[in-house]
């Protein structure tokens, strides 16, 4: 799952500040990546699909996997969960970039807009595109950039 968010105009900002902007931008891209993680990582509220009271007799227990009740009332299940919520990580890429990823094998089927399964969409799982749109429209990138520029000016 790869979606790129590019911040334009950095060359102009670096010329205006007349400083080595690379360390500042490392902090900016890391902060923006954290904002993206905060937008995409939360689980949607649990539904009947996560409950033993599901009338179908099957449910998905978060942190465990699918479970079901047999005719005699015994509960069985497959411990297949890769704990999606705990598998997020941020890795530095290049001189100033950062990449947000998830190591769960099914993360792309849950979060990638191009591959999200219909049932994940129906249960409210956030996609990569939704998270980016939310972060961009929130003004977080402008706020992070302004704070970084002001901090660089105070140091300079």
Classify burial at 32, counting beta carbons within 10 Å of its beta carbon; exposed 0-12, middle 13-18, buried 19 or more.
buried
The pLDDT value given to residue 151: 84
Q: Are 85 and 41 in contact (CB under 8 A)?
A: yes
Instruction: Convert the pLDDT of each residue in 82-106 to its tens digit.
Output: 999 999 999 999 999 999 999 999 9
Query: How far is the C-alpha of 57 from the C-alpha of 48, rounded, in Å?
Result: 11
Identify the domain containing residue 35 by its residue range: 10-43+85-155
- Whether 147 is in a domain gets the answer yes
Please check whether residue 90 lies inside any domain of the structure: yes
Query: Does 37 map to a domain?
Result: yes
Q: Does the residue 61 lie in any domain? A: no
Q: How far apart are CA 53 and CA 74, in angstroms?
A: 14
User: What pLDDT does 4 receive?
Assistant: 66
Asked whether residue 69 is domain-assigned, the answer is no
pLDDT digits 0-9 by tens, 8-54: 766 666 665 666 778 888 999 999 999 999 999 999 999 999 999 99
What are 138's two structure tokens? 């929130």
Give the count of domains, the chain: 1
φ/ψ (deg, to 5) at 69: -110, 130
pLDDT tens for residues 111-141?
999 999 999 999 999 999 999 999 999 999 9
Is 114 among the domain residues?
yes
Q: What is the pLDDT of residue 26?
A: 92
Note the pLDDT of residue 96.
Answer: 92
Determine the longest span between alpha carbons in the chain, in angstroms: 75
Q: What is the pLDDT averaged over residues 64-88?
A: 96
């Amino acid at each position: 799952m790869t979606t790129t968010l590019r911040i334009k105009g950095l060359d102009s900002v670096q010329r205006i500040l007349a400083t080595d902007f690379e360390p500042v931008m490392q902090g900016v891209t890391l902060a923006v990546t954290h904002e993206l993680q905060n937008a995409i990582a939360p689980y949607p509220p649990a539904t009947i699909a996560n409950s033993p009271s599901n009338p179908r007799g099957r449910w998905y227990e978060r942190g465990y996997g699918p479970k079901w009740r047999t005719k005699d009332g015994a509960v069985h299940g497959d411990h297949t969960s890769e704990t999606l919520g705990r598998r997020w990580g941020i890795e530095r890429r290049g001189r100033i970039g950062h990449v947000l990823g998830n190591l769960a094998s099914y993360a792309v089927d849950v979060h990638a807009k191009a591959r999200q399964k219909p049932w994940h969409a129906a249960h409210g799982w956030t996609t990569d595109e939704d998270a980016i749109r939310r972060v961009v429209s929130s003004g977080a990138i402008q706020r992070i950039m302004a704070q970084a520029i002001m901090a660089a000016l105070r140091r300079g």
